Copies of this chain bind each other. A is one copy, B any other.
Amino acid sequence: MTMQATDIRTTQTASSYAPMFMAASGGDHGIDIEAIREHVQVRRCKHVAGQSIYHAGQPFHAIYLVHAGSYKICELADDGREQVSGFRMRGDLMGVESIGLKAYASDVIALEGSEAWELPYPAVLRACLHVPELHAHLTSALAAEIRCDRSWMLMFGTLAAERRVAAFLLDVAARYARMGYSAKHFILRMSRIDMASFLALKHETVSRALSHLHDMSYIDVQRREVRVLDVNGLRSMAGMSAALN
């Protein structure tokens, strides 16, 4: 059960921020947040686990930049089916897929104590007029999001269950590495159920796959804590797909 983001607290904007923000997975583009903040009133929104930033169908008014924690993107069907289409971490943009619509197309739900910066879209457009590079950045971010989804389509369509799990771990590891953390030892921030939804598997299958990767000494896994023991083993299992980075 998800909660409505009714108790978002608006705080003063932070003074400093890391210069580089990588987009989810496809991301070789960096959003220049300082340039944005000169023209856009940024609101910092904190969320607890299970709280949603926005739901599909709510009026589209802003895009969001993840500042801390993790969020999951959920696609919904009218008959109740649900699909996690991705996870977002620090530096990732959220909501860009709804640009051009009146309402958001997906749900975004916080996985834990997280914070996202709200960038009202009209203001972003105005900022694009003053900072020409910003528009290129935004377009590149959209294109990168497409490539990200395409990479997962390639993975879903061509890899068996265990290989998908291996590819997922490598992707998570790569993202932690880009953020300056260890790629060999990390904590998964999502439940097995969310992982399973994202990988188009059942959560029991994910558990079995992780256990098997453990048995083969590719990883050391204990609940959400993962230690990568054999990167090349994982890579060969994931089809050497560097496209996911």
Number of interface residues of A (CB under 8 A): 68
| A200 at the B interface (CB under 8 A) | yes
Determine the residue in chain B with the shortest Cβ distance to A242: B78
Determine the residue in chain B with the shortest Cβ distance to A140: B100
| A35 at the B interface (CB under 8 A) | no
Q: How many copies does the complex hold?
A: 2
- Chain A stretch 12-37: residues in CB contact (< 8 A) with chain B: 12-14, 16-17, 23, 28-29
Segment at the B interface, from A41-49, A102-110, A218-226: A102-110
Q: Provide the residues of chain B in CB contact with A158, threshold 8 Å.
A: 77, 81-83
| A154 at the B interface (CB under 8 A) | yes
Q: How far is the CB of A96 from chain B (nearest CB, A)?
A: 6
Contact between B143 and A239, CB atoms less than 8 A apart: no
Q: Provide the residues of chain B in CB contact with A157, threshold 8 Å.
A: 83, 156, 197-198, 200
